[in-house]
Each structure stands twice: as C-alpha cells, then as structure tokens.
Amino acid sequence: MGSQVLEKRIYYGSFSVNRQETITPGYRLLSFHSPEIASAATPGQFLMLKIDRSFDPLLPRPMSLHSIIKDGNRCIGFTILYKIVGRGTRLLSEKRSGDKLGIIGPLGKGFNLDRLTPGYEPIIVGGGIGTAPLLFLACELVERGWSPSVFLGANSKEELLRLDEFESLGVTPRVSTDDGSKGEKGMVTDLLGSYLGGSKEVQGEVFACGPPLMLKEVVSLVRRYGLNSQLSLEQRMACGLGACLGCVVRIKSKKGNQLSYQRVCTEGPVFNGEDVLW
Amino acid sequence: MVAETSPSLSVELNGLKLKNPIVAASGTFGYGLEYAPLGDLGRLGGIVTKGLSLWEEKGNPPLRICETPSGMLNSIGLDNIGVENFITEKLPQLLPYDTAIIVNIWGREIEDYLKVAERLDGVKGVSALELNISCPNIKKGGITFGTDPSLTFKLVHQVRKRTSLPLLVKLTPNVTDITLIARSAEDAGANALSLINTLLGMEIDVATRRPSLANITGGLSGPAIRPVALRMVYQTARKVKIPIVAVGGISSLLDVIKFLLAGASAVQIGTANFFDPTICWRLLKELEEYLRKEGISDVKQLVGALIEE
C-alpha cells in the first residue's frame, strides 16, 4: 500500500480499490482496505481522491467517508458513496478491484458529538447524496448508545439511499420522495417540520447534509424549535489541506456577525448551522 | 558514467542561497505548515508564502476555483492573515526548518508594499521577499504594477531602498513583452525574477449560463500553462543578467530540467502541490538521481545549457 504516517494522523498514499458496487442506477459504493485511515477517521470527515494519474481531470475530488469496514472490533477499511455527476465521478465509476487511487485523509473537522448531553436526541437529516456522511455518523452514535432519529429524502424511491444499512443499525429512517414513490410525498424538511412540531417536545441536536436549499430550511426549522444544527457542506476544492483557499464558504465570524470566508477543508466540512451565511 | 560523490544541488540567486533548486510556490503551499504533515519542510530549497499584505485580507467571494483541461482557474483574491499575524503566529513555527522562507508581499498602493517590506526587514527567519506585481484577481495593485515597465521600475526601486533582504520580483505573463518588465525590475535593483504568475482566463457553466467563478475571470495555472512559462523563461534569460526562478505548470522531473536548460536557476512548484502533495520531495530525490545517473556533478551545469543550432 505504501502509505506514510503523517503527524496529524493524515495519511497519504496509493490505495487499491477493494470493490465497486452499483447500489442503484447512478450511485456507487467504493470500498478500500486501510486500517490506518479507518482507525483515524471520525464521522463527517472526508478524503481527497486523485481519480486518475493523468492531468485531465487535474484535481483530486473531496469525498465523505460513508462507512467504516470492521473485522470484529478492528477497523480495516472504509467506503465512499457517490453519485455519478461529472467527468471525475464517471472516471471513478470505471475503477475496478485492484485499481489504485491516490488518497489523502482523513481530513477536516467532522460532526461534534460532544454537544450531545444526556436526554438529547440526535436527529439526522439527509437529502439525496447528502446521505453519504450520515451512515458513518449513525453508526458511531449507535455505538455510543444513542438512538438517533433519521430522516432521509430523495427525488424518488430508487434514490433513497442505504435504508437497509440504517435498518441494520436498528434505526428506521423516516423517508420522503419528491414524486411520492416511497414515504411521504414532498421534502425531507416537511417530515422534519412535522416531527419537531408534533406533540412531543424534542430536545436535541440536528446533523444534516444535502442540497443548500434543504440545509437552509433545516436551519430555519431548527431555529424555530430552539435546537442546534450541524451542517456538512460541500465546495469545489483543490488541495484539501488548507493551502489553496479555494473551498471557502460564507460564515459568520467569531467577532460579531461579520462575514468571513472559511475553508470547508479545514474549519469544516461541518459548520454550525446558525453560522452559515447563505 | 556514475559520479562517486553526491551531486551538488545548492544554488545561489544573487544573494539568496538555496540548498536545492526546488521551491514551493506562493499561493499553493499556504504558510508552509499546511504541508508539514506530509514531509520534512527542512529538506525543501525554499517555501514562498501566500501573498501577504499589511492588513488581513478576506479575499474574493466563492466560487473561487474551477478545474479546466490540465489546469485550473483561481480567483482567491489574495486572502491572507496579514504580515503581523504571519510574524507572530506562523514564522515561529517555521524557524525549526532549515529552508529558505521567502515572503511574498503585495499591496494596493506603493506605500503598502513599502510598509510590508519594512516590517519584514531584519525579522529572524525571513530569507527573502518576493514582490507580487502580477496577481490578476484584485481590483487595485498587483498586476497594475507588473504590466507597466515604468511602474515596475518605480515600485521595485522604492522597495529596494527599504529592505536589505534579497528581493525577487514575480512577473505576470499577461503582457505583450515580458522581457521589458523583467529589465525594468532588474534595473531597479531586483536580485532575481520569478516567472510566471497565472494567465488571465475565464470559464462558463453552460447549465447555469453563469461564469464559473464569482469574480468572473481568474488566473490559469497548472500543466496547461507550462509551455507559455517555458517560452517566457527562455526569452527573459537572454535579456537579463539576474537569476530567474521558473514557475508555471511544473509537474515532473523532466519539467524541472527543461526550465533549468531554458535558463532558470531554480524552480517553483505550484498547482502540482494540489494534485500531488508530496511532489516537491519527490522531485528533489529524482533530480539528485538524474544528476548522478548523467554524471553531472553540479545542478548549476544545467542552467541555460540548452543547445540551439
């Protein structure tokens, strides 16, 4: 494998694809063997994948860690869940077992689970491919003894991702689809809204990943019910290491409510929902 | 033929000594420390910092980057922590590394450049200044100095008087004749020249009918611009006496050698750090192996050794 150990427990090396599966048309699951990355990673962190040795596409792609593969108690590998959207992901979809990819990781600040205090309910909200970092999160929460509520939304039944895997953790996702082919017809934020507005008063922390409009709605819902949210954001990225300053998003600075540009790769990818300026 | 002893890799840039000619380029290596988890910074010939100003600069709004064929566009807008924060927060952490710290500086007015240069003069751990007169992504300053030979002269001449540090001047390719600007910088007292900065470019997202960058235009870098950089280094090397540090798409050992042959005394690795984050260290090893294999005892023997007939 030839990976080298780095100071901050960041690993860089050439890793062989273990397996590539189509989980539903247009969506793939890639698995890699790497006890180092698997042991160092926390939910919400990401990797940079150099898909091809050529100069076109040139830049590595940021990808969330989707799950950790375990052998008993030992972390031995990880998976990446992705949607084929452009040239990079199309090339990635052509990789076969044994093909090598340059990978740096784990990178960034993941979800902050220390905010959960006894009596709190972790609430997970995912839209479309935004489900990618949330299975790892659900798994970690369950291992720590929490029972998260999970809400997942997608365009259609086919694009509701990884329901069985959430089920196998003992978590039953409540689902919505835009076309009504499964679960409630409508947005996942409608589901979340009914839940938070229901008879039971919810004390909890919301963890969300999905399209910007969904995340924006999550923040306003969560604010209405007095909860806090953590959002996993996405941005075009060149280095993943905090050097290029290309992946910034608009965030309220610590000093008052001024606009600051913060790096998704370093200050993120998980940001406090209230701090994100849309 | 195999040389018995290790080939000499050190280079001298008219007052700035580098232990080897592999330098990390400004804007692609942060303040150096971002890459410390990946390799020993002390082995590199030098590190050029992100462009620093007198003030903390927020930079341009996102989207700031966009991939293009064999390259990328950026419009970061010189986002930086400011010279004072650099001196107090970053520089002390860089001191343990035995590498040349070259501080890239910029301003909107001549006075801004002078103040940053003065602030850095005599500061322990700073090996040289690189004057950025070539950033295409800010409204005022940067490139406006580097596209006018007389303004280049005026700025470099004044900065020269305010600093005892070796002074590199980083030139823009977005000019009709880069050698004119190069000669102005030389005449004004620059120790060496870095070329080239990015080429001004643009991309459009057809699906949204919008520019791919929030700033609309941006600087093109990466392997796509390497032949342009090579041509400009070649032309400039024939017109100036001061050393040239080549930068522009360098991504392999062969690229390094090409630039040395064209007349560069050292090279900077830029965009390649993004897609190949340990490339600086690997090039260093490969360059040493190459010299050994070719029986070249000193890397300086390659500088300007292009055969033209």
For chain A, list the domains and their CATH numbers. 4-107 (2.40.30.10), 113-232 (3.40.50.80), 235-278 (2.10.240.10)
B133 contacts B142 by C-beta, under 8 angstroms: yes
With an 8 Å Cβ cutoff, are B59 and A245 in contact?
yes
Q: Give the angle A103-A107-A112 at the CA atoms, nearest 5°.
A: 145
- The span from the CA of B171 to the CA of B206, in Å, is 33
Chain A residue whose CA is closest to B270: A244
What is the distance between the terminal CA atoms of chain B, rounded to a whole angstrom? 26
For chain B, 309 residues long, give each residue's pLDDT as a single digit of tens.
554 679 999 999 999 999 999 999 999 999 999 999 999 999 999 999 999 999 999 999 999 999 999 999 999 999 999 999 999 999 999 999 999 999 999 999 999 999 999 999 999 999 999 999 988 777 677 778 999 999 999 999 999 999 999 999 999 999 999 999 999 999 999 999 999 999 999 999 999 999 999 999 999 999 999 999 999 999 999 999 999 999 999 999 999 999 999 999 999 999 999 999 999 999 999 999 999 999 999 999 999 999 998
Q: Is B97 on the interface with A (CB under 8 A)?
A: no
Question: Which token pair is A92?
Answer: 């990635």
Q: For residue B280, which of B245, B244, B250, B246 has the smallest C-alpha distance?
A: B250
- The span from the CA of B109 to the CA of B10, in Å, is 36
Burial of B4 (0-12, 13-18, 19+ CB in 10 A): exposed
**Choosing from B44, B52, B76, B135, which is the catalytic residue?**
B135
pLDDT tens per residue, range A130-171: 999 999 999 999 999 999 999 999 999 999 999 999 999 999
Which residues from chain A sit within 8 angstroms of residue B50, using beta carbons? 243, 245
Residues in chain B: 309
Burial of A257 (0-12, 13-18, 19+ CB in 10 A): exposed
The verdict on whether B135 is a catalytic residue reads yes
Q: Which domain holds residue B265?
A: 11-60+77-202+222-302
DSSP string, A224-240: HTT-EEEEE-----S-S
Q: What is the pLDDT of residue B4?
A: 62
Say what the ipTM of the complex is. Answer: 0.95
Question: How far A149 CA lies from chain B's nearest CA (Å)?
Answer: 33
Domain membership of residue B284 (yes or no) is yes
With an 8 Å Cβ cutoff, are B30 and A243 in contact?
yes
Domain membership of residue B189 (yes or no) is yes
B261 bridge partner residues: none
B264 contacts B13 by C-beta, under 8 angstroms: no
Q: How many domains does chain B have?
A: 1
Domain membership of residue B211 (yes or no) is no
Closest CB from A8, A10, A238 relative to B274: A238
A177 bridge partner residues: A154, A185
Question: Which token pair is B286?
Answer: 């490969």
With an 8 Å Cβ cutoff, are B37 and A8 in contact?
yes
State the sign of the Cα–Cα–Cα–Cα dihedral A64, A66, A69, A75.
positive
Q: Which helix (H) or strand (E) holds A126?
A: strand A121-127
- The span from the CA of B198 to the CA of B76, in Å, is 12
Domain membership of residue B20 (yes or no) is yes
A78 contacts A34 by C-beta, under 8 angstroms: yes
> Which residues are CB-contacts of A85 (< 8 A; sequence separation ≥ 6)?
none
Domain membership of residue B5 (yes or no) is no
- The span from the CA of B70 to the CA of B14, in Å, is 34
Find the CATH number of the domain harbouring B36: 3.20.20.70
Domain membership of residue B214 (yes or no) is no
Q: What average pLDDT score do residues A162-181 get?
A: 97
Looking only at the bridges linking them, the beta strands covering B192-195 and B128-132 are: unpaired
Which stretches of B51-141 are assigned E, i.e. beta strand?
65-68, 71-74, 100-105, 128-132
> Which residues are CB-contacts of A139 (< 8 A; sequence separation ≥ 6)?
A43, A67, A68, A169
